[in-house]
Amino acid sequence: MLKTRHLIEPSDLTLEELDDLFTLAERIEKEPLYLRESCRGKLLAVLFFEPSTRTRLSFEAAMFRLGGSCLGFADPSASSTVKGESLADTVRMVACYADVIVMRNPKEGAALLASRYSSVPVINAGDGGHHHPTQTLTDLLAIRRLRGFIGNFTIGFCGDLKFGRTVHSLAKTLVRYCGVKQMFISPPELRVPSYITTELGVNGIEYVETDSIESVIGQLDVLYMTRVQKERFFNEEDYIRLKDTYILDTRKMELAKKDLFVLHPLPRVNEITPEVDSDPRAVYFKQAKFGMFIRMALLAEILDTVI
């Protein structure tokens, strides 16, 4: 179905394709032997020009669990990028060696550019403050598994909504599901970009922007916390001033619904206190594990190895 296709933004997938991926990921989770050897002989190139723990390692784990192999780099300083090789040439070369490429790059639009020079599918693992489609797959699978289906809920995005690519990808994708109300909680300097709110407005989606988490937390079914993205600030003073604007603690959790789910793409810095981790509503570590199953499903579909 997805064979030979690039995944640059979540909108590259239809709702039906998303649903099929979630169903496949759920089957893989339930039946660990299903598809275990399906990617034997296939190679995944993992090109990370920015640091990562979850995305890179879950992609590698996914490929190994499907019987395939991985090559690549976690640090571009060990590649010929430091000699001045362009991204286009790097991707052209890697496509000679691998069957699929997963790439993270600090520049917005880098994955799209790579896809234009690659003879094999390119999966965007994050391009600057733009998109992170496989995190969206992870988030949606988590919501489906925890709530039973994706629709009819209120989600609050909290923190750095300006630079948070996971927020941009998920907010845009939720426009395509029924009955999802979105609340954007941020300081004025870190508001969600207008291209996202415009998309919501054009589609008649109800949304709220506020700087107060206390005023809305009681209305939320899903709270999506994010860290302030230090690496995207031009000015350290601004980062220091804004980094601890929101800290989710047990006192704030007392204001929330009993069936709230707290998601976070991770890494977490200070925005959720460790005491919240033991609250059953805090599901961010479970969410990260769903990321491996959905990436297994995605690789198996793109490499056309689902039997």
**Annotated catalytic residue 251:** no
Identify which of residues 35 and 161 has a Cβ nearer to ligand CP in the complex: 161
CA-nearest of 43, 276, 10, 261 to 153 is 261
Q: Smallest distance, Å, CB 53 to ligand CP?
A: 4
Q: How many whole angstroms separate alpha carbon 97 and alpha carbon 99?
A: 7
Left, alpha or beta for 62 (phi > 0: left; psi -120 to 50: alpha)?
alpha
**Annotated catalytic residue 83:** yes
Identify which of residues 99 and 139 has a Cβ nearer to ligand CP in the complex: 139
**Annotated catalytic residue 55:** yes
**Annotated catalytic residue 281:** no
**Annotated catalytic residue 65:** no
Identify which of residues 224 and 246 has a Cβ nearer to ligand CP in the complex: 224
Which of 6, 42, 54, 65 is an active site residue? 54
Q: Smallest distance, Å, CB 185 to ligand CP?
A: 19
Which of 42, 130, 131, 132 is an active site residue? 132
Identify which of residues 128 and 265 has a Cβ nearer to ligand CP in the complex: 265
Q: Smallest distance, Å, CB 133 to ligand CP?
A: 11
Q: How many whole angstroms separate alpha carbon 261 and alpha carbon 203?
A: 26
Q: Smallest distance, Å, CB 84 to ligand CP?
A: 27
Whole-number CA gyration radius for the chain? 19
Q: How many whole angstroms separate alpha carbon 6 and alpha carbon 110?
A: 13
Burial class of residue 256 in the structure, from the number of CB atoms within 10 Å of its CB (0-12 exposed, 13-18 middle, 19+ buried): buried
Report the interface residues with ligand CP, using CB under 6 A: 52-55, 126, 135, 265-267
